[in-house]
Amino acid sequence: MRIILASPEAKVWSARKHIPLGLGYLAAVLREAGHQVRIYDAAVEDVPVEYYLDLAEEQGRPYRLIGITATTPLIQEAWEMAALAKKRGLVTVLGGPHLTIMPFESLEPPRDRFVDYVFKGEAEYSLLELVTALEAGREPGVIPGIHFRHGDEIVASPESPMIPDLDALPFPAHDLFQIDRYTNLQPLTDGLDPNARSFTILTSRGCPYKCTFCSKPVTGDTWRARSVENVVQEWRWLVKGLGATEIGVTDDIWNLKLPRAKELCRRLIQEGLNTVPWVTVHGMKVNHTDLELFQLMKAAGCKRVGFGVENGDDRMLRDVIRKGQTVEMVRAAFRNAKAAGLQTMGFFIFGMPGDTEETMEKTIQLALELDPELANFMLAAPFPGTAMYDMIREGGEIFADNWTDYAIHEQKARFTMHDGQYDPELVVRKWREAYRRFYLYRPRRVLEKALMKENWTNLPNTLAQVKRFFIGHKDQTADAVSAQKDPVAV
Ligand code: B12
Ligand code: SF4
């Protein structure tokens, strides 16, 4: 069958462009079964998806099915894409993080007119089952995770357990991405390089922790690791076969088992695969590290590591965020990573329920003390499927329920708590103050940024960042946000 797998583009400020790896996995499984697959990522394409649909039709080789991926902020665009594909007669299938959390919403009227099937969870095997059934002219029966309409009813099959043996999967179809159109993975530290060949790799799936801001139904609680050998083989393909100039490890927690993480580094060194720099795109977990791990990572080609620091107050970490780590553990991880010669990044969240002026001040102080190359301060956003969402539903109020609004959660206060303490205006003020105090009010930092060539060669991007972080927009106040209450609509 001819299939197009698509990722819509968020119409928001965003400079970084990463491959949608989930589509790479789905494409690989479909391709292995003999289907013809194209990956369309609106973030890097010059033409809308209709162009490829119409072209294929004109050439007499139309696509029969479109599979669209969506995180919560992209669901609106995913629906729009499904609607135009349906007009051209394609079978439309939706999957990805938002559908894993809310599988029914996309089959409610009026969306049931253009969404045929929704999948919840990891779908490598189940999407293939659907395609096989459709190709044989059969109605899909019970396929793990599938949801579809049958008259007035929505048929919902239980989700299968998350794929236990990840080594059994083919490598993602990295070769189907137009890789030279993606940027490097952390442009805020290096400047934006639009010509990088940056691939991402997933060495494990799942995470046993239960941070309250995290979309746990998407990550899953059971950590499943690929064998070191299997990861090294894919790494070799990226470096030697596909000319990677940078690799990003995007696991939720690749270092859960310290001996395995060290073994992977040793194998990369042995295999001579340490020539291409790599970064941990998301936070490593600080309490599963030691100096030896960072030294091995450095020797294995790692350039920088990111850590989810979140908050500078131990009570907030323990009772609200439930991070399973202390400020002291954070300090030790930064100390060791720096001692090993790695660049560091810290991810901090402002405005979790319970955050006060004092705890947010502690967070800023900790960021200044840790002094990573990059500090990323985010405003807490109540994504559906998080424990935080439930906390706010119980004791507070979410200002806007328009999914597109979740795209850049740094920009606006998204909720308030009715505890007589929480102040969304203060949260936004402290968040902006964090950027100013970290990047602007320290002469060494300003000089570093001013000396960075890319900040001048890509001036529009630099100016957009300056406006966003240091000046703000008129719509960034709580009042402005609550005035925008929008229903979720197509
Ligand atoms: C890498 C990553 C990023 C990268 C790259 C994203 C990309 N281009 O893919 C960057 C840094 C850019 C990023 C940004 C954001 N991210 Co992010 N990210 C991740 C992370 C850590 C890994 C994604 C991944 O590669 N997974 C591995 C693949 C194999 O899984 P998958 O993509 O989910 O695909 C599988 C299934 O979902 C399903 N599937 C997926 N698509 C489709 C399509 C069809 C048709 C079918 C049938 C099935 C299907 O099958 C796939 C194979 O099993 C996840 C956490 C996680 N564990 O997934 C968070 C995660 C997806 N991100 C999240 C968030 C919140 C964001 C941001 C919204 C943050 C922000 N506010 O700006 C942005 C949104 C960006 C965007 N445009 O959508 C949340 C999403 C929550 C939600 N409700 O949507 C997650 C789940 C983190 C979390 N635990 O809370 N992210
Ligand atoms: S450690 Fe990371 S992936 Fe695991 S629950 Fe916390 S935020 Fe989610």
Does residue 268 surpass a pLDDT of 50?
yes
Do 357 and 430 meet the contact criterion of CB atoms below 8 Å apart?
A: yes
- Is any ligand 1 atom within 6 A of the Cβ of residue 214? yes
Residue found under tokens 């708590």: 417
Is the CB of 254 within 6 Å of ligand 2?
Answer: no
Q: How far is the CA of 401 from the centre of ligand 2 (A)?
A: 24
Lookup: tokens for 76: 């609106």
Per-residue pLDDT band at 445 (split at 50, 70, 90) = confident
For ligand 1, is residue 212 a contact (CB within 6 Å)?
A: no
The owner of tokens 């990059």 is 374
**Cβ atoms within 10 A of the Cβ of 48, count?**
14
Report whether residue 74 contacts ligand 1, using a CB cutoff of 6 Å. Answer: yes
Give the integer Cα–Cα distance in Å for 239 and 249: 14
pTM of the entire predicted model: 0.92
Ligand 1 centroid – CA 308 distance (Å):
17
Check pocket membership of 18 for ligand 1, CB cut-off 6 A: yes
Token pair for residue 18?
Answer: 């990463």
Pocket perturbation via mutation, ligand 1, pick of 192, 250, 431 by most ligand atoms within 8 A of CB: 250
Give the per-residue pLDDT at 416: 94
**What's the average model confidence in pLDDT over 216-239?**
96
Whether 204 shows a pLDDT value over 90: the answer reads yes
Cα 86 from Cα 78, distance rounded (Å): 12
CATH number of 2-156: 3.40.50.280
**Ligand number with the minimum distance to the CA of 389:** 1
The response to whether residue 214 sits with its C-beta less than 6 Å from ligand 2 reads yes
Binding site membership of 211 for ligand 2 (Cβ less than 6 Å) = yes
> Residue 275 gets which letter from DSSP?
T
CATH 3.80.30.20 given to domain 183-484: yes
pLDDT, one tens digit per residue, over 335-369 is 999 999 999 999 999 999 999 999 999 999 999 99
Q: Is the CB of 16 under 6 A from ligand 2?
A: no
Q: Is the CB of 391 under 6 A from ligand 2?
A: no
Work out the percent of the chain whose per-residue pLDDT is above 90. 76
Confidence of residue 480 (pLDDT cuts 50, 70, 90): very low
Residue 47: φ, ψ to 5°:
-120, 150
Closest CA to 106 of 137, 138, 77, 144: 77
- Closest C-alpha to 177, from 88, 270, 243, 262: 243
Position in ligand 2 atom list of the atom nearest CA 209: 5
For residue 188, is pLDDT > 60? no
pLDDT for residue 184: 82
Q: How far apart are CA 267 and CA 73, in angstroms?
A: 38
Tokens 């960072």: give the residue: 294
pLDDT value at position 194?
A: 73
Q: Please provide residue 14's backbone torsions phi and psi, each rounded to the nearest 5 degrees.
A: -165, 120
Domain ranges of the chain: 2-156, 183-484
> What is the C-alpha separation between 244 and 277, in angstroms, rounded?
9
Mean of pLDDT values over 206-216 = 96
Contact 311, 321 (CB under 8 A): yes
For the CA of 93, the nearest atom of ligand 1: 45
Give the ligand 1 atom nearest the CA of 384: 83
Ligand at minimal distance from the CA of 310 is 2
Mutation to probe ligand 2, out of 205, 209, 322 (largest number of atoms < 8 A from CB): 209
* Centre of ligand 1 from the C-alpha of residue 69, in Å: 9
Q: Same fold for the domain at 2-156 and the one at 183-484? A: no
CB of 249 closer than 6 angstroms to any ligand 1 atom: no
How far apart are the CA of 383 and the centre of ligand 2, in A? 14
Amino acid identity of residue 63, one-letter, is Y
The rounded distance, in Å, linking the Cα atoms of 57 and 488 is 33
Average confidence score pLDDT of the chain: 89
Integer Cα distance of 311 and 317 in angstroms: 6
Distance 132 CA to ligand 2 centre (A): 35
**Cβ proximity of 190 and 184 under 8 Å:** yes
Query: 97: CA distance to ligand 1 center in Å?
Result: 6
In one-letter notation, the amino acid at residue 171 is F
Counting from 1 in the atom list of ligand 1, the atom nearest the Cα of 163 is: 53
